[in-house]
């Protein structure tokens, strides 16, 4: 491991709103589950997640734009998270935090109806069919999100990968989710909706290569959320 990475990892240990718990499938629910507002943000504002956040561009920029909401960037890559974590630390952006975990353990960190919205920004498309359950917009992950997403919560997917966009769109329709917005060429129009103008490092690279950007926003059906929540209710505090 390079010296720069080691330096960044050591620096992240000093940041107040960066959490790097050692968890796996068999770990108990984390102490922050259901307590993010109380123990981290010290307010009652809505919580928004950025999944596969990379450098955390969406987490940081949304936190700046919406001081009345709390934002948590989640990724497993510590060297990437460092950039966003350093920004919120240096600029004292108090309504943002970062969580370094494997996404498969996300349910251990958020309680029922604790999260208002989810952004999935340029995730690994996992193109092989055998890897379908690893896609952050797969049915398995939608069920995970349903266990902690508010009934009116919105899931946003932004990707350069059309097969992932198409797969997600078809899945969303199959479960009767409400599609709020859908486009396979976001920047074809000059009238870009608010918050979609935020560009990650990956997005800038893809745009420079002439790749179209896809965007999908949807709400899970209420019965889908209630079924998942009910199934897990005996595990909730």
Question: What is the set of domains in the chain, with CATH numbers?
Answer: 102-235 (3.40.50.150)
Q: What is the pTM of this model?
A: 0.91
* CA separation for the pair 99, 73 (Å, rounded): 6
In this prediction, residue 89 carries a pLDDT of: 94
Share of the chain above pLDDT 70, in %: 92
Q: Which of 124, 152, 197, 223 is catalytic?
A: 124
In this prediction, residue 221 carries a pLDDT of: 92
Number of Cβ atoms within 10 Å of the Cβ of 171? 17
Tell which wins on pLDDT, 216 or 189: 216
Nearest to 183 by CA among 196, 200, 171: 196
Nearest to 109 by CA among 17, 26, 220, 28: 28
Residue 123 contacts residue 159 (beta carbons within 8 Å): yes
In this prediction, residue 227 carries a pLDDT of: 66
Tokens of residue 236, six digits: 């909730």
Average pLDDT over residues 162-186: 96
In this prediction, residue 226 carries a pLDDT of: 65
pLDDT band for 13, please (50, 70, 90 cuts): confident
Q: How many residues would you count in the chain?
A: 237
Residue 230 pLDDT greater than 60, yes or no: no
> If phi over 0 gives left and psi between -120 and 50 gives alpha, with beta otherwise, what is residue 48?
beta
Residue 211 contacts residue 187 (beta carbons within 8 Å): no
Alpha helices in 1-77 (DSSP H): 3-12, 36, 57-65
Active site residue 117: no
The residue behind tokens 């998270």 is: 81
Dihedral angle of Cα 19, 22, 28, 31, to the nearest 10 degrees: -20
Nearest to 17 by CA among 100, 112, 103: 100
Residue 56 pLDDT greater than 50, yes or no: yes
Nearest to 135 by CA among 125, 121, 145, 147: 125
């Amino acid at each position: 491991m390079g010296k720069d990475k080691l330096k960044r990892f050591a620096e992240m240990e000093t940041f107040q709103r960066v959490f790097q718990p050692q968890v796996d499938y068999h770990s108990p629910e984390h102490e922050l589950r259901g307590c993010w507002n109380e123990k981290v943000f010290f307010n009652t504002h809505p919580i928004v997640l950025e999944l596969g956040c990379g450098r955390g561009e969406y987490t940081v920029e949304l936190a700046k734009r919406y001081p009345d909401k709390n934002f948590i960037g989640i990724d497993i890559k510590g060297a990437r998270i460092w950039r966003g974590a350093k920004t919120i630390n240096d600029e004292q952006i108090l309504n943002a935090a970062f969580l370094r975990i494997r996404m498969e353990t996300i349910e251990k960190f958020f309680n029922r109806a604790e999260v208002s919205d989810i952004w999935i920004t340029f995730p690994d498309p996992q193109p092989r069919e055998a890897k379908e359950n690893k896609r952050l917009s797969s049915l398995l992950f939608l069920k995970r999100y349903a266990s902690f997403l508010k009934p009116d919560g919105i899931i946003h997917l932004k990707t350069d990968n059309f097969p992932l966009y198409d797969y997600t769109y078809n899945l969303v329709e199959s479960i009767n989710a409400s599609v709020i917005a859908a486009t396979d060429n976001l920047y074809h129009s000059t009238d870009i909706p608010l918050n979609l103008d935020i560009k990650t490092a990956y997005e800038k690279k893809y745009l420079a290569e002439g790749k179209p950007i896809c965007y999908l926003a949807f709400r899970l059906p209420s019965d889908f959320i209630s079924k998942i929540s009910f199934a897990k209710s005996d595990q909730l505090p």
